[in-house]
Amino acid sequence: MKILTGFFSLIGNLSSFGLRALAAVFAPPYEWQYFVIQIEAIGWQSLPLITAAGLALGVVMTLHTRSGLVTFGAEAWAPALQSQSFFNELGPLVTGLLVAGRAGAGIGAELANMRVTEQIDALEVLSFDSFKFLCVTRIVACIFVLPLLTVFMDFAGLMGGFLSEFMISHMSLQLYAASAFRNMGWANFIPPTLKTSMFGFIIGTVSCYYGYTINEGSDGVRRAATNSVVLSSLLIILSDVILVKLIFFFFPGDAL
């Protein structure tokens, strides 16, 4: 019972933290400069990881699926399967989980460390709204960069699939691209990509919540980093179930 109460209390606190951040986005002063720094830290610095992971995952996916398709003589469908898998699910979900691991842990640890070393107090003394300066900028940056990183993940995955296919069947890039996008519509690309904004909101909110509110020395920094990754990842997977259902509801063609 105590665990259940603690869980719902945490969800309540996270929701109110996230909603407070969203409300603060529209109130001046606007911390543009720091927002751009966060875009660079969360987005640009995650790009090598995302593209490398996408490429490797693309290669592995093709190796696995192609052998199955060959059994049914359907290997020509490998590019289409690859694009459907990446654009609809793998790209958004893996991007969310990777950013939760890289940026989420970083945000949690950085803010917790700032709390321990009195940097957050120093911001308040200098009349900065520390919540807005530190949390809102990071949460909005996460919301903004996740769809962009997902696009890179999708295309890196497709490129990995092509490289794998090229090694096996020497298929040309033009033919691979034509096959990959033959059955793809905007509905396969835009809703799944935009849903990652919700993943970004979850990563930003959870990480900032733990980092900003924990004040327990070096152990607090460790806990903030760990909790940020664990809870962000869990909530991303759970929210994905709901978001996929919603996408199927609003774009029934996707479900076919």
Q: How far is the CB of 61 from another protein (least distance, A)?
A: 37
Q: Which residue bears the tokens 């969800």?
A: 11
Q: How far is the CB of 128 from another protein (least distance, A)?
A: 7
Q: How far is the CB of 87 from another protein (least distance, A)?
A: 35
Q: Is 119 in the site for another protein (CB under 8 A)?
A: yes
- Asked if 114 contacts 120 with a C-beta cutoff of 8 angstroms, the reply is yes
Q: Is 216 in the site for another protein (CB under 8 A)?
A: no
Q: Is 117 in the site for another protein (CB under 8 A)?
A: yes
- Asked if 76 contacts 176 with a C-beta cutoff of 8 angstroms, the reply is no
Q: Using the rule CB under 8 A, which residue among 36, 70, 122, 167 binds another protein?
A: 122
Q: How far is the CB of 115 from another protein (least distance, A)?
A: 11
Of the candidates 98, 140, 115, 96, the one whose C-alpha atom is nearest the C-alpha of residue 223 is: 115
Buried b / exposed e across 60-99, counting CB within 10 Å, b at 16+?
Answer: ebbeebbeebeeeeebebbbbbbbbbbbbebbbbbbbbbb
Q: Is 3 in the site for another protein (CB under 8 A)?
A: no
Contact flags string 29-58 toward another protein, x per CB under 8 A:
--------x---------------------
Compute and round to an integer the Cα radius of gyration of the chain.
Answer: 21
Q: Is 213 in the site for another protein (CB under 8 A)?
A: no
By CB under 8 A, how many residues form the interface with another protein?
Answer: 15
Residue 155: how many CB atoms within 10 A of its CB?
Answer: 18
Considering the complex, state which of residue 89 and residue 219 has its C-beta at the smaller distance from another protein: 219
Q: Is 24 in the site for another protein (CB under 8 A)?
A: no
Q: How far is the CB of 119 from another protein (least distance, A)?
A: 5
Q: Is 144 in the site for another protein (CB under 8 A)?
A: no
Task: Name residues contacting another protein, limited to 57-116 (CB under 8 A).
Answer: 110, 113-114
CB neighbours of 180 closer than 8 A, spacing ≥ 6?
A: 79, 80, 82, 83, 158, 161
Q: Using the rule CB under 8 A, which residue among 40, 89, 124, 216 binds another protein?
A: 124
Measured between alpha carbons, how far is residue 46 from residues 115, 195, 231 in Å? 25, 19, 20
How many whole angstroms separate alpha carbon 218 and alpha carbon 236?
27
Of the candidates 44, 146, 168, the one whose C-alpha atom is nearest the C-alpha of residue 95 is: 146
Note the residues at the interface with another protein (CB under 8 A).
37, 110, 113-114, 117-119, 121-128
